[in-house]
Amino acid sequence: MRRTLGYFPKIGFISYILFIVYIIFVYFSFPIYFYQTDLVNFLTGAKMVRDGQAQYLYDESVQLVFQNEIVAPFEREVLLPFRNTPLAALLYTPFTYLNLKTATILVIFINTGLIFFFTKLFSRKIEKLSKIKRLWVLPIIFWPCVATLLTGQNVGIILLIIALIYFQLMGNNSLGSGIFLSLLLLRPQVMLILPFVFLLVGNKKKFLMGFIFSSLAIILINGIIVGPDTLLDYPKYVMSVENSFFEGRTPSISSIYFMLKELFPYVGKSVLSSVNFFFYLVTIAVFFLKRKKYKLAEAFIISVLATILFSIHVLSHDLILLLVPIYILISKTSNNLTGVFKNKIVLLLFFSPILNIIGVPIITTLVLTWVLIYLLVFNKNVEITS
């Protein structure tokens, strides 16, 4: 009987792999796959910048014209809106000189390289990880990594920046922490990590100096690209898009805000946003009160989980940031690849994101929330979470 039960984890793992392979096959067999990826909206913004129309970057009627040029001969009636920063658009301009299929394949290769570089970097910085052979297998079968590659998103860069912030904290480099944190302005919602990192740095003056000056430089570059008026309109545009574009995507979003929206469908958005922000502030307050009791590894895991959960929308590819807590936990509790999933928290963080694709992200949110509360309030040492 015990031997029979021992097969269930193996069968479950094989089923998980086969499901991932099946999803990849479905994506690539879809006739208009290349016209539906998120890369299309990045290229829309990039082409507008390249063609000297950056001042209309957040005008949806102009976006649709440029988007249809990108996806031709396919024609979109509903816009896939570009809602990122002007600098993000600028970074994608080289891809606008390629046809859409070539650009998509190239971005997939670049994102793959970023994910493997992230793994290599973690292995070099944390000696224990360097002893785990074939660690690179994990991101290959981690659903958010696969989702990132399939959608053409830029979260691979954000993942790398988050890792670099952690390494700066490990080296007690407050100035470097501030500089790298400012780079998260490429994806503003991830800036929710700011108060946590601020509480973790040793020299807060150096941190603020690095963060403020780097942020001002990035804001200036964005202003030069689109002009001050368009840049000032950006926050309002983002909020309007968040409310409309993601309204129908609740079944695929993992965040406390959308979990509350599912549980309390008749409560207004402003009330839900206020509740979400209140819990975010409570999390920061508890973190502040207990910060001296946390080890850096534990504190940073809490920081990343809180950033994910309190963002307004978190799709499957955004959950790629969970690789940071996963690698940190593995470095504390595992000596080899086969022992990785003996850590219960690693098991939960690794496999729960797959629930997004089958339409139950609320369970993913509940799992991540439980892990956050456990580490924030109850756990005294991340090394015993196995």
Q: Quick one: pLDDT at residue 300?
A: 95
Q: Quick one: pLDDT at residue 7?
A: 43
What domain range includes position 166? 98-384
pTM: 0.89
Tell me, yes or no, whether 175 lies in a domain: yes
Tell me, yes or no, whether 279 lies in a domain: yes
Q: Quick one: pLDDT at residue 303?
A: 96
Cα dihedral 209, 219, 303, 125 sign: negative
Sequence letter at residue 367: V
318-355, pLDDT tens digit by residue?
A: 999 999 999 998 887 766 666 666 778 888 998 888 88
CA dist., res. 203 & res. 55, Å (int): 39
Q: Taking a C-beta distance cutoff of 8 angstroms, is the pair 323, 159 a contact?
A: yes
Tell me, yes or no, whether 249 lies in a domain: yes
Tell me, yes or no, whether 129 lies in a domain: yes
> Closest Cα partner for 54 from 76, 78, 77, 84?
84
Record the tokens describing residue 248, joined without a space: 């129908």
Helices and strands, counts by H and E, the chain? 20, 0
135-180, pLDDT tens digit by residue?
A: 888 888 888 998 898 888 889 899 999 999 999 999 999 999 999 9
Record the tokens describing residue 7, joined without a space: 């097969």
Chunked into runs of 10 residues, the chain (386 residues) has average pLDDT values of 47 72 72 79 93 90 90 82 90 92 90 90 83 81 88 90 94 94 92 95 94 95 90 84 57 80 85 92 94 90 95 87 92 67 83 84 91 85 46
Q: Residue 82 — left, alpha, or beta (φ > 0 → left; ψ -120 to 50 → alpha)?
A: beta
Q: Quick one: pLDDT at residue 244?
A: 54
CA dist., res. 361 & res. 349, Å (int): 13
Residue 373, burial from CB neighbour count under 10 angstroms (0-12, 13-18, 19+): middle
CA dist., res. 332 & res. 202, Å (int): 23
CA dist., res. 12 & res. 351, Å (int): 11
CA dist., res. 85 & res. 222, Å (int): 7
Count CB-CB contacts under 10 A for residue 173: 20
Tell me, yes or no, whether 3 lies in a domain: no
Q: Quick one: pLDDT at residue 252?
A: 65
Count CB-CB contacts under 10 A for residue 2: 5
Residue 312, burial from CB neighbour count under 10 angstroms (0-12, 13-18, 19+): buried
Q: What is the CA radius of gyration of the chain?
A: 21
Residue 301, burial from CB neighbour count under 10 angstroms (0-12, 13-18, 19+): buried
Record the tokens describing residue 111, joined without a space: 């994102």
Q: Quick one: pLDDT at residue 6?
A: 46
Tell me, yes or no, whether 37 lies in a domain: no
CA dist., res. 371 & res. 366, Å (int): 9
Domain count, the chain: 1
